[in-house]
Amino acid sequence: MLAFDEIRLYGTTSLQVMRRLRTTLYDLASAVPPERRKALRHYIEHLDRTVKDSIKDTEDQTTALQQDRQGLGLSRR
């Protein structure tokens, strides 16, 4: 939380910040021991709520809820 809260709060209306933060969290979840993944999943759910509360346009929400490693608007599926 310490590492990501300010990014999440100050970038809350930026589609690319949300997408890149999501990618970072998923990448981190794949690299940490299994017992730490629950905390990361919880933080990703918190990120989802932040996006849904702060970005009202449904198309923009959908975009913000995708992963984007490079910030170029490309999804990683």
The residue among 77 and 50 whose pLDDT is bigger is: 50
DSSP 72: S
With 70 as the cut, is the pLDDT of residue 72 above it?
A: no
Q: What is the dihedral of CA 62, 68, 73, 75, to 10 degrees?
A: -70
Q: Does residue 24 contact residue 76 with C-beta atoms inside 8 Å?
A: no
The model's confidence at residue 73, banded by pLDDT at 50, 70 and 90, is low
**Measured distance between the N- and C-terminal CA atoms of the chain, rounded to whole angstroms:** 25
With 70 as the cut, is the pLDDT of residue 77 above it?
A: no
In the block, residue with structure tokens 């933060």:
21
* Encoded tokens for 47: 């990120």
The structure's pTM equals 0.84
pLDDT, tens digit (0-9, with 9 covering 90-100), for 29-68: 999 999 999 999 999 999 999 999 999 999 999 999 999 8
68: exposed, middle or buried (C-beta count within 10 Å: 0-12, 13-18, 19+)? buried
